[in-house]
Amino acid sequence: MYDDSSSRIAAELRSWISTAPPGAKLPSTRSLVERHAASPVTVQKALRTLATAGLVESRPGVGTFVRTVRTARPNDYGWQTGALATPGHRMPKMPAALQSAPNDVIALHSGYPDRELLPERLVRAAFTRAARSDAVINRPPAAGLGELQAWFATELGSAVPLGVTPPAPGDVVVQPGSQAGLSTVFRTLVGIGRPLLIESPTYWGAILAAEQAGVEVIPVSSGFSGPDPDELARAFERTGARAFYAQPNFASPTGAQWSDALCEQVLGIMREHSAFLIEDDAMHDFGITADSTPLAARDDAGHVVYIRSLAKSVSPAVRVGAVIARGPAHERILADTQVHSMYVSGILQAVALDVVTHPSWKTHLRNLRHQLQSRRDLLVDSLREYAPLVHIEAVPRGGINLWVQLPDAVDMDRVVHESRSAGVIIGAGSDWFPAEATGKYLRLTYAGPNPGTFPDAARALGEIIARC
C-alpha cells in the first residue's frame, strides 16, 4: 500500500510536470497529503523519486520546483593540454581483471574470488563489532594497529627456520592494500629513473605501480618454475639494479611456485649484489596442494621486503595489507606511507584483525582449499576435453588462476571479442607482460562465479580458437 500510493502520487506529478514550465512550483506537501489521503512520509517518498530522476529540485523553506532545463553545451578543456604537458609515464589502461561483467555471462577474467569463497559471515559480524568499538572514532597509528602489526609479524615468523631472527611487530607497516604497498616500496627503494628487475610475465598491478613511480622496468623471463637464476644475476650485473620484484608463491598469472633450491639461489644473488627482493605474497591464503613458504622467512639481513594483502582472502571491501621491512628501508617506507595515506582506516584494520584471529578463520581456509581444488580441476578437465588447442604447461599448486597458451597463429583480439559475444569473458595475457608478450596466452580464473559453467566455457573457447 505504501509503495503503491507513493508510485501513484509520483506518476500524477510526472504528468503535471510534463506540461509545467521550468521553475514552476509544485503543490505543497500539505495539499498533496490532503488530495491523495496519504501520509507525509508517502508524499515525501514520491518527491524524492522525482528529485532522483532529475525532474524537480527542493529549496529548503521555500518549496519544490520543476527543475530548470539547462541547455547542453560542449566544454572546452583545451587549456589543460598545456598545463599537464606530456605524461612522464605510460597512462594505465583498464586491465581485463578489473572489468565488470553482466550476471548472464561466464566470467573467467576477474582477479578477485567470488563471494562464495569469502568468509562472508565472519566479515559481516566483524563490521558489526567494529561499529560498536572506538575504531569508529579513534585515529590509528601511522604504522597500524599494534595487534594487527603483531599478527602479520607472527604469520611470517611462523615460517622462520632455526637460526633466523623472526620479524618484530615494529617491522610491519600496515597499508591500504598491496597495491599501495607496491607503490610505496617502488618509490622509496627504487626511485625515479632507476632500474627495477621484474618477472615477466607478472602481476599487472605491479607493472602499473612501477610505471607510476617512474622507475625503469627491466623484464626478467620467468616461467612455471620461476626465473633462471643465471639470467637474473646477469640482469643485475648489466643494469646495476638494486631491486627485484617477484612472486615466489602462486604467482599471478602463471601460478608458479619456486623450489627451495631456487629460493636459496635468489637470496644468494640478493646478498651478492646488495639488493632488495620485493616479495609479493598476495596469494598466501590460496594454497591448494602446497602452502606458501615466504622467502622473507629465510632472511633477517633486510634483503627481502615482504608484501601481503588480505583484500582477496578476507573481502575486497577490506583493503588492508602490510609491508614488512627491516633497517633504514623500513623507516623510508613508513615515512612515505605517512605522506601518501597518513594511516589506514581504523575500522578496516579492526575488521581485518577480527576476521583473521577468529577461531573459524582456519576452518574457512581449509574449506577454501577444497573448493579451489575442485574448481581448478574442473576447469583443467573441461579445457582438456573441449579445447584441445589450449596448452596447459602445468597445473598450479595454489592461487586462483590457470595460465594457458594458444597456437601462435591464433588472432588473439578476435578470440577475446568472439568469446565475449558468446558470453565468455576472458583476458588476453598481454596485460601481464611488462614488455612485448612472448606468445599467445590467456589467464583464466577458476575462482569466479558459477563454476558449473566451466564445461560450457571450455566448449565455446575450443570452437572459437579453432575458427580463429
97-110 pLDDT, tens digit per residue, is: 566 666 667 888 88
pLDDT in tens, 242-292: 999 999 999 999 999 999 999 999 999 999 999 999 999 999 999 999 999
**pLDDT at 96 exceeding the cut of 70:** no
pLDDT classification of 4: cutoffs 50, 70, 90:
confident
Residue with the bigger pLDDT between 435 and 373: it is 373
Residue with the bigger pLDDT between 326 and 96: it is 326
For residue 132, the one-letter residue type is R
Domain 2-66 matching CATH 1.10.10.10: the answer reads yes
* pLDDT at residue 341, as a whole number: 80
For residue 37, the one-letter residue type is A
In terms of Cα–Cα distance, which of 295, 203, 296 is closest to 253? 203
Q: Which residues pair with residue 65 across a beta bridge?
A: 25, 57
- 63 Rama sector, left if φ>0, alpha if ψ -120 to 50, beta otherwise: left
DSSP state of 434: S
Q: Evaluate whether 457 touches 450 at the Cβ level (below 8 Å).
A: no
* pLDDT at residue 90, as a whole number: 59
The Cα-based distances of 138 to 133, 218, 229, 340 in angstroms read 9, 43, 48, 19
**pLDDT at 71 exceeding the cut of 70:** no
* pLDDT at residue 104, as a whole number: 66
* pLDDT at residue 296, as a whole number: 93
Q: What is the dihedral sign for C-alpha 159, 163, 168, 174?
A: negative
* pLDDT at residue 79, as a whole number: 75
What's the length of the chain? 468
**pLDDT at 3 exceeding the cut of 60:** no
pLDDT in tens, 414-428: 999 998 988 889 988
Cell of 209: 605501480
Report the range out of 128-142, 361-375, 438-452 with the highest average pLDDT: 361-375
Q: Evaluate whether 242 touches 275 at the Cβ level (below 8 Å).
A: yes
Within 13 Å and on the Cβ side, how many CA atoms surround 98? 8
Cell of 195: 632500474
* pLDDT at residue 2, as a whole number: 45
Percentage with pLDDT > 70 across the chain = 93
Residues 383-411 have a mean pLDDT of 94
In this chain, the answer to whether the domains covering 2-66 and 120-358 adopt an identical fold is no
Cell of 352: 581485518
How large is the angle between the packed helices 204-213 and 178-185, nearest 10 degrees?
40
Q: C-alpha 328: how far from its chain's center? A: 29
- Each domain of the chain, given as residue ranges in start order, spans 2-66, 96-111+362-467, 120-358
The DSSP-derived string for 262-299 is HHHHHHHHHHHTT-EEEEE-TTTT-BSSS----GGGG-
Compute the mean pLDDT over every residue in the chain, rounded to the nearest whole number: 90
pLDDT in tens, 189-240: 998 999 999 999 999 999 999 999 999 999 999 999 999 999 999 999 999 9
For residue 370, the one-letter residue type is H
DSSP state of 257: B
**pLDDT at 321 exceeding the cut of 90:** yes
In terms of Cα–Cα distance, which of 256, 252, 192 is closest to 223? 256
In terms of Cα–Cα distance, which of 462, 348, 345, 350 is closest to 410? 462
pLDDT classification of 93: cutoffs 50, 70, 90:
low
Pick the CATH number of 120-358 from 3.40.50.300, 3.40.640.10, 3.40.50.620, 3.30.1020.10: 3.40.640.10
**pLDDT at 91 exceeding the cut of 80:** no
**pLDDT at 73 exceeding the cut of 60:** yes
Q: What angle do CA 181, 185, 189 make, to 5 degrees?
A: 175
Residues 439-448 have a mean pLDDT of 93
Residues with Cβ within 8 Å of 336's Cβ and at least 6 positions away in sequence, in order, are 184, 187, 188
Residues 284-310 have a mean pLDDT of 94
* pLDDT at residue 1, as a whole number: 40
* pLDDT at residue 163, as a whole number: 84
How large is the angle between the packed helices 454-467 and 412-421, nearest 10 degrees?
140
Cα–Cα distance, 325 to 337 (Å, whole number): 13
Pairing verdict, β 321-324 and 304-309: antiparallel
pLDDT in tens, 345-362: 889 999 999 999 999 999
Cα–Cα distance, 398 to 376 (Å, whole number): 9
Class of the CATH domain delimited by 96-111+362-467: alpha beta
Secondary structure (3-state) at 310: coil
Residue with the bigger pLDDT between 289 and 61: it is 289
Considering the entire predicted model, what is its pTM? Answer: 0.82
